Amino acid sequence: MAAAIEIRDLGFSYTPGNPVLENINLDIEAGEKFGIIGPMGSGKSTLLLQLNGILRGSGTVRIGGTILNDKTLGLIRRRLGLVFQNPDDQLFNPTVEEDVAFGPLNFGYSPEEVTARVGEALEAMKLAGFEKSLSHHLSMGERKRVALATVLAAKPEVIAFDEPFSSLDPSMLMQLLDIINGLEATLVIVSQSLLPLVSCCRRLALLNNGGIVAVGPVKDILRDDELLRANGLDLGYYKKIYGELF
Amino acid sequence: MKHSFIDRYSDLDSPVHRIDSRVKLLLVFLAIITVVSEPQARLFPFAFYGGLILVLILMSRLPLVFVLKRFMLLSPFILLAALFYPVSLLISKEAQLASIRDEPFRVALSIFCKAGLSILLLIWLISTEKFHNLLIGMRKLRMPRLIGIISALMYRYIFIFGDEALKTTRARESRTPGKLKMNKVKVYSNQMAMIFLRSWERSVMIYQSMLSRGFSGELPAMQRMAINRNDMLFFVSFVLGLLAIRFFVDPLVTGF
């Protein structure tokens, strides 16, 4: 069976001579929940944008066995949905319903099918009844769920999240983790918040200076203090606070 | 930020709100052409056109105060246009039209009426139909695709611009006890530049999110549009009203 995501020798730079990604090689299995961590500016979000061709670098990216190129761009975007960090960047239609319908309509589904998908996606996000609500009047937690619904409505095989856990209070975080854990699609989650990844991911990749430093089981990576410190991530502070509190 | 800032009251439920957006677009287009093509010598028909528009507004259950406020907001521009045109002709050496030279007030009034009535029609249009539906209607009426996309994105980006302006203003005011003591020009120009940059960045992100969901230059619509008998009846009645004013009002009221 083909890997859900297969990246080979990927490189990318916004300006010549300043590579943001270099020699990235990564395989993510179908159905896997995979986390990508790294310090700020390490290239995590840039890597996500490579997955559905928003940004294009050198090397190859395969989604569900299909190589990403101009001809397959539509298919790839149907297969891989991207949830942006800031829901306000994702929600650009006046109402929740129109925003959730945007993807399926663009992918050519009939209005009846789109209506059904919108209903399903909102139901899954516990947002039934919000169809006519104005996106801009919702709370951050609700907007995050609408943003996820906009992607779920297209029923992608892979969902890539960019910092899904930022700006959420603990109860919203728990809600989102429940939703993420309940998703059947392959998930790629980029996050600065390391702890939530423990509860939803099996493997992690550590990215720094545009390259993959380590790939392995979540607990192995997060227990390696030396590796984390050397790459700008340190859980020591959290461990200290946790030790004092409990 | 309120997203209904532009098409406020488009959510109302009235017989006019239920009319297909294409019918409304065509009516407004025809009405503007009819009003604008009135000869400058005829002023009285404008009162009838105004009456017809008033009927439309009342049928739509739009608050008259709201319509009036929107109109007042734009009236200085109309007034300036109305005044400048005859004045420029009067002082111009090339002014050859005796009618304009002789009747600058009538010309100014004619321009004011034409522009004013057109503005009222547009206020009525955007208050009785969601902007998104108007775009769909325009596309169904074979409007060039590019204009539709540009209009849709402009509509969206107005709110981004507004959002960023609001955020930066709050940030400035929260650190400004009382009056601004710094060089105001510098502060405001810095703020403007920041609003522009931040709006630009957000626009790029939004565009990327649109691409991610299959956007390829089309803005597909969820609902199917259908023109029914009520729409046709409304259209025919309104067009008959326009034609009656255009061709039969003047003989009834002569000398004005």
Q: What is the CATH number of the domain that holds A106?
A: 3.40.50.300
Question: Tens digits of per-residue pLDDT, A135-156?
Answer: 777 888 888 899 999 999 999 9
From chain A, the residues in CB contact with B205 under 8 A are: 84, 86, 89
The answer to whether residues B113 and B191 belong to one domain is no
> Looking at residue A153, what is its pLDDT?
93
The answer to whether residues B123 and B231 belong to one domain is yes
Total of domains in chain A: 1
Quickly state the pLDDT bin for B95 (edges 50, 70, 90): low
- Residue B232: count other Cβ atoms within 10 Å of its Cβ: 12
pTM over 0.90: no
From chain B, the residues in CB contact with A154 under 8 A are: 213-214
Dist. CA B123–CA B54, nearest whole Å: 12
Q: Is B220 within the bounds of a domain?
A: no
The answer to whether residues B72 and B128 belong to one domain is yes
The answer to whether residues B28 and B52 belong to one domain is yes
Answer whether A54 sits within 8 Å of B208, measured CB to CB. Answer: yes
Chain A residue whose CA is closest to B203: A89
The answer to whether residues B81 and B133 belong to one domain is yes
Q: Is B109 within the bounds of a domain?
A: yes
Chain B residue whose CA is closest to A162: B209
8 Å CB contact between B19 and B234 = yes
Chain B residue whose CA is closest to A104: B213
Would you call A241 helix, strand, or coil by DSSP? helix
A103 touches chain B (CB under 8 A): yes
Please report, rounded to a whole number, the percentage of residues in chain B having pLDDT higher than 90.
Answer: 28
8 Å CB contact between B56 and B234 = no
The answer to whether residues B40 and B163 belong to one domain is no
φ/ψ region of A215 (left if φ > 0, alpha if ψ in -120 to 50, else beta) reads beta
The DSSP annotation for A123-185 comes to: HHTT-TT-TTSBGGGS-HHHHHHHHHHHHHTT--SEEEEESTTTT--HHHHHHHHHHHHH--S
From chain B, the residues in CB contact with A100 under 8 A are: none
CB pairs under 8 A between A and B: 77
ipTM of the complex: 0.70
Answer whether B212 sits within 8 Å of A134, measured CB to CB. Answer: no
A82, A89, A111: residue with CB nearest B206: A89
A48 touches chain B (CB under 8 A): no
Strands A33-37 and A58-63, how do they pair?
Answer: unpaired
Rg (CA), chain B: 23
- Residues near B180 by Cβ (< 8 Å), separated by ≥ 6? B187
Total of domains in chain B: 2
Q: Which of A70-74, A174-178, B48-52, B156-160 has the lowest mean pLDDT?
A: B156-160
The boundaries of the domain holding residue A154 are 5-245
Chain B residue whose CA is closest to A74: B214
- Closest CA–CA distance from residue A203 to any residue of chain B (Å): 25
The boundaries of the domain holding residue B198 are 144-212
- Closest CA–CA distance from residue A105 to any residue of chain B (Å): 6
Q: Is the pLDDT of residue A38 over 90?
A: yes
The answer to whether residues B178 and B246 belong to one domain is no
Average pLDDT on B235-241 reads 93
Please report, rounded to a whole number, the percentage of residues in chain A having pLDDT higher than 70.
Answer: 99
Quickly state the pLDDT bin for B256 (edges 50, 70, 90): very low
